[in-house]
Structure 1
Amino acid sequence: MKFKMLVASLLAVASFSAAAADQRVQIYVTPPTSNDNHFNGLKIGNDGLLSGGLDVITMYGLAPGVYNVAVSISSQNINFDATKSNLNGSLGTFGPLGKGQFGFLASTDKTPFVLNLFGTAKAGATYSADITVTAVPEPETYGMMVGGLALLGFMARRRKAKNAA
Structure 2
Amino acid sequence: MKLKFIVAGLLTAISFGAFAADQTVVLDLSPAAANTFSSTVPGDGVLSGGLDVISFAGLNAGVYNIDITLSGQNLTFSDLTNLNGFVASDVINSGKFHFVGVSLTGPSPFTLNLMGTALAGAKYSGEVTISAVPEPETYGMLLGGLALMGVVARRKAKKAA
Give TM class, smaller chain: 0.7 to 0.9
| Structure 2 partner of 1:3 | none
Q: Distance in 2 between matches of 1:144 and 1:39?
A: 37
| Structure 2 partner of 1:87 | 83
Q: Deviations over 1:104-152 (max 9, x none)?
A: 1111212343211111222111111111222222111111111111111
The answer on 1:23 being equivalent to 2:28 is no
Q: Distance in 2 between matches of 1:93 and 1:84?
A: 12
Q: Distance in 1 between matches of 2:114 and 2:22?
A: 15
Letter in 1 for 2:41: K
The answer on 1:140 being equivalent to 2:158 is no
> SS of 1:48's equivalent?
coil
Structure 1 unaligned blocks of 5 or more: 1-16, 96-101
- Which residues in structure 2 correspond to 1:50-69 (within 5 Å)? 50-69=47-66
> SS of 1:145's equivalent?
helix
- Which residues in structure 2 correspond to 1:67-146 (within 5 Å)? 67-81=64-78, 83-88=79-84, 89-91=86-88, 92-95=90-93, 103-108=95-100, 109-111=102-104, 112-146=109-143
Q: Distance in 2 between matches of 1:19 and 1:69?
A: 27
Structure (1 or 2) with the larger CA radius of gyration: 1
Matched pairs, number: 136
> SS of 1:142's equivalent?
helix
Letter in 2 for 1:40: S
- State the Cα distance separating 1:154 from its structure 2 match: 1.1
Q: Distance in 2 between matches of 1:137 and 1:68?
A: 10
Letter in 2 for 1:54: L
Q: Deviations over 1:12-56 (max 9, x none)?
A: xxxxx947622211225x71x3xx2110014354x4221211111
